[in-house]
Chains A and B, each alone.
Chain A
Amino acid sequence: DAGVTQSPTHLIKTRGQQVTLRCSPKSGHDTVSWYQQALGQGPQFIFQYYEEEERQRGNFPDRFSGHQFPNYSSELNVNALLLGDSALYLCASSRRQYEQYFGPGTRLTVT
């Protein structure tokens, strides 16, 4: 049973560019959440997708957007990248209200 997968593993972008990160949930899971983890800190909730709609959103600007596909996979898009967007981006999947399982993350570096 494959767990949560994320791509790419690492990414380097320049300020002002746009980036798309991808996540495939664990088999049987229908909910995907995205988190941003700055170096040395705990993950911060960005948003959650269920049934292809954004169900909840954390305190992140509109530059952060997402999408969920019919197969439950998800994308996180960040526009107009800032240096402060450099972080580990974690995807977590769950089945409704049960515990979330995390992927290995995508390390984004903005230069």
Chain B
Amino acid sequence: AQTVTQSQPEMSVQEAETVTLSCTYDTSESNYYLFWYKQPPSRQMILVIRQEAYKQQNATENRFSVNFQKAAKSFSLKISDSQLGDTAMYFCAFMSPSYDKVIFGPGTSLSVIP
């Protein structure tokens, strides 16, 4: 069974600084998808970034980028130039194409400090 672990329950960062959120996962599959979702206090789950396991190149979306290490089963999220609106819960998630269900980690609460 697949599992997703986020070892940092809470983190904080100064506005305009860079922060990295950690995620590790366990699977025996070779092809899968990884995601980072953001859930602000409004509770709307928002897709931040997506990575296909067969792609070696790390995904990037504006200020958000990932460090995907397939052999280590690690998938960290880097947020550059942090903004107050980045304050939210961040969930790392795994999806096997053969199952379609998304398995979430326990989340990291990120606070951006002015």
Residues of A with Cβ closer than 8 Å to B?
Answer: 31, 33, 35, 40-45, 48, 55-56, 58, 88, 90, 92, 94, 96-97, 99-105, 107
Contact = CB atoms under 8 A, between A and B. Distances in A.
Given A88-B43, A99-B35, A104-B44, A42 B100 contact: no
A35 B102 CA distance: 9
**Interface class of chain A by DSSP:** strand
23 contacts: A40-B107, A41-B106, A41-B107, A42-B105, A42-B107, A43-B91, A45-B101, A45-B102, A56-B99, A56-B100, A56-B101, A88-B43, A97-B100, A99-B33, A99-B35, A99-B95, A100-B95, A100-B102, A102-B44, A104-B43, A104-B44, A105-B43, A105-B44
Chain B interface size range: 20 to 34
Contact of B100 (A33, A35, A90): A33
Given A55-B100, A104-B43, A105-B45, 5 more contacts: A41-B106, A58-B101, A97-B97, A102-B37, A105-B44
Contacts of A35: 102, 104
B47 interface: yes
A40 B45 CA distance: 14
A31 B107 contact: no
* Among all A-B residue pairs, the 3 with the closest Cβ atoms: A42-B104, A102-B45, A45-B101
Given A42-B91, A88-B43, A99 B50 contact: yes
